């Protein structure tokens, strides 16, 4: 076998041509053999500096002075930004440097086909990749509708997003509306201050925006200090607005603003009033047979309104108060009292009232407390002036007295006491047990009296029957025969023990005759 040194010598001799190289190869030592595949390049660096670029094929690397470093480059992949300190020269043969500014994005087209999108930076392009085409995009101008043959994909993550709009769309710059763009496809670059939002269908407040002015795309709407505005878009109610300045984008539809003066006194609404019955900006109240409506100014009642519907705007000095005219029940708490015979009882009253003067009622906001106090005082007078037996016996009839006493204690409130009655009388447990005993004894005495009365009537009836039988022997005999017949019907067999004369004494023949008769 040949030695390693001899093999190295033969290899070096084959690689070199001419006598000087053959002689020099005796002093070179092979380091490695590098195979560069197609689509790759290998940059050879000595002591960190670029030395040469290895083309596809096999290459022998010899040990010489300095440190050798090999960097494999994939030239058919995507373009990658050059890092600081890249060892390859910028004017490297077979390459081209692509510069992308901060405000730019560059689309790379190879053989007219999109391959990638470049962010700001430097990129090296290898001619072996194919015919290169570059499309530069400036992200600073206002977005425009994309053409139908736009070569870029809809979205590239982290770089841009494309949206399609079938309706006009509002362009904003850092949140400030700029103008209305027609329907179409638009590309928004990442990092761009522009945004696309749907056109608002409402008035946009612009009180603190000095740049919001009327233009071809928008108009400014002003609502006075003492006004409220109702916005209709294409004939449909959209919103209600207070005083201020607003911007309206014309592409949102046909605008109509109906203004209302908040200083005017509310009047009855017409049947064809265009506003809905409920809205956050106003309150609608109806006056009818069972409900009165009081007009108030600065919270003070002014007058009762006739039947109809009325509207009061929020923020106005006018307001509407609905007062029910139907019968209302008041909840009066039970009261612990002592009857005249010093028996503790708990009494609860039932109270029903009706409003007869709405203006006076609204002038007395605590009228319920006043009625409550008057009923409690009247109930105290009624209960403490009667003994327990009278209170229990006359509970249903005490309502009139209780109502009269409560009315006498009430000031003019515009309220009519319709019903005042004692609803419940609750006794302590020992008193209730004692009354139960009395009731039980009374019922037992009544039952005993009824029993004695029935016994007396029965005895009197027997005496009358005996007197009748005594004066009429035939009737007596019939009663005897009836009794014997009833006895005979219950007896299957009769056995007589004795002489034959006993049979005659029974007088069966008489019994048979009596039955035939």
Q: What CATH number corresponds to the domain at position 409?
A: 3.30.479.30
Which of 26-30, 48-52, 109-113, 169-173 comes out lowest in average pLDDT? 26-30
Q: 339 and 418, same structural domain?
A: yes
Q: 422 and 337, same structural domain?
A: yes
> For residue 64, is it within any domain?
yes
Beta bridge partners of 281: none
Q: 423 and 512, same structural domain?
A: no
> For residue 255, is it within any domain?
no
What does the pLDDT average to over 407-430? 82
Q: What span, in angstroms and rounded, lies between the C-alpha atoms of 264 and 273?
A: 17
Q: What is the DSSP letter of 201?
A: S
> For residue 514, is it within any domain?
yes
> For residue 345, is it within any domain?
yes
Residue 505 CA: distances (Å) to CA of 363, 392, 510, 511: 109, 73, 10, 12
> For residue 307, is it within any domain?
no
Question: What is the dihedral sign for C-alpha 204, 207, 212, 218?
Answer: positive
Domain boundary among 74, 100, 134: 74
Domain hosting residue 393, numbered range: 328-427
Q: What span, in angstroms and rounded, lies between the C-alpha atoms of 439 and 418?
A: 35
> For residue 148, is it within any domain?
no
> For residue 186, is it within any domain?
no
* Contact in structure between 282 and 289 (CB atoms under 8 Å): no
What does the radius of gyration of the chain's CA atoms come to, in whole angstroms? 59
Give the max Cα distance, the chain. Answer: 191
Percent of the chain with pLDDT over 90: 23
Please write the tens of the pLDDT for every residue from 215-231. Answer: 788 888 999 999 999 99
Q: 509 and 423, same structural domain?
A: no
Instruction: Give residue 311's pLDDT.
Output: 95
In the chain, how many domains are there?
3
Residue 21 CA: distances (Å) to CA of 9, 15, 32, 68: 12, 9, 19, 22
> For residue 401, is it within any domain?
yes
Instruction: Give residue 94's pLDDT.
Output: 81
Domain boundary among 364, 396, 427: 427
pTM: 0.56
pLDDT tier, 22 (very low <50, low <70, confident <90, very high otherwise): very low
Q: What is the DSSP letter of 462?
A: H
Domain boundary among 427, 443, 463: 427
Q: 409 and 491, same structural domain?
A: no
Q: 488 and 407, same structural domain?
A: no
Sheet containing 176-181: order of strands: 176-181, 169-173, 194-198
Question: What is the dihedral sign for C-alpha 144, 149, 150, 156?
Answer: positive
Q: What span, in angstroms and rounded, lies between the C-alpha atoms of 228 and 247?
A: 16
């Amino acid at each position: 076998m040949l030695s390693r040194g001899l093999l190295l010598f033969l290899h070096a001799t084959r690689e070199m041509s001419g006598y000087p190289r053959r002689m020099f190869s005796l002093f070179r030592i092979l380091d490695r053999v590098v195979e560069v595949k197609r689509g790759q390049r290998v940059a050879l660096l000595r002591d960190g500096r670029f030395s040469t670029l290895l083309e596809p094929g096999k290459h022998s690397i010899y040990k010489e002075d300095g440190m050798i470093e090999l960097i494999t480059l994939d030239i058919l992949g995507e373009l990658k930004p050059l890092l600081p300190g890249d060892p390859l020269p910028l004017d490297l043969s077979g390459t081209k440097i692509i510069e992308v500014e901060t405000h730019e994005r560059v689309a790379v087209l190879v053989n007219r086909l999109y391959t990638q999108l470049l962010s700001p930076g430097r990129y090296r392009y290898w001619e072996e990749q194919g015919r290169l085409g570059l499309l530069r995009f400036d992200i600073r101008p206002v977005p425009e509708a994309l053409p139908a043959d736009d070569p870029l994909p809809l979205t590239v993550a982290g770089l841009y997003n494309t949206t399609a709009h079938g309706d006009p769309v509002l362009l904003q710059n850092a949140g400030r509306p700029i103008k209305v763009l027609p329907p179409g496809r638009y590309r928004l670059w990442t990092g761009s201050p522009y945004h696309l939002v749907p056109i608002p269908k409402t008035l946009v407040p612009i009180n603190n925006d000095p740049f919001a002015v009327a233009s071809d795309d928008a108009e400014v709407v002003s609502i006075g200090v003492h006004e409220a505005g109702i916005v209709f878009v294409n004939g449909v109610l959209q919103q209600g607005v207070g005083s201020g300045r607003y911007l309206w984008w014309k592409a949102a539809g046909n605008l109509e603003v109906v203004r209302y003066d908040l200083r005017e006194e509310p009047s009855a609404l017409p049947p064809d009033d265009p506003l809905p019955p409920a809205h956050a900006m106003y309150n609608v109240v109806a006056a009818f047979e069972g409900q009165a409506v009081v007009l108030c100014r600065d919270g003070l009642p002014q007058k009762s309104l006739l039947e109809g519907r009325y509207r009061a705007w929020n923020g106005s000095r006018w307001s509407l108060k609905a007062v029910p005219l139907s019968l209302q029940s008041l909840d009066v708490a039970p009261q612990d009292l002592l009857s005249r015979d010093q028996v503790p009882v708990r009494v609860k009253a039932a109270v029903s009232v009706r409003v007869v003067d709405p203006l006076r009622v609204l002038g007395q906001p605590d009228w319920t407390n006043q009625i409550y106090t008057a009923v409690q005082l009247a109930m105290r007078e009624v209960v403490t002036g009667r003994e327990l037996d009278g209170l229990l016996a006359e509970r249903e009839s005490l309502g009139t007295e209780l109502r009269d006493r409560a009315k006498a204690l009430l000031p003019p409130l515009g309220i009519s006491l319709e019903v005042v009655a004692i609803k419940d009388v609750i006794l302590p447990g020992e008193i209730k047990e004692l009354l139960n005993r009395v009731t039980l004894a009374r019922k037992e005495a009544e039952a005993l009296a009824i029993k004695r009365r029935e016994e007396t009537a029965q005895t009197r009836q027997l005496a009358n029957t005996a007197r009748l039988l005594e004066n009429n022997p035939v009737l007596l005999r019939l009663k005897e025969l009836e009794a014997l017949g009833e006895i005979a019907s219950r007896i299957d067999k009769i056995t007589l023990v004795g002489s034959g004369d006993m049979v005659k004494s029974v007088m069966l023949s008489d019994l048979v005759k009596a039955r035939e008769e």
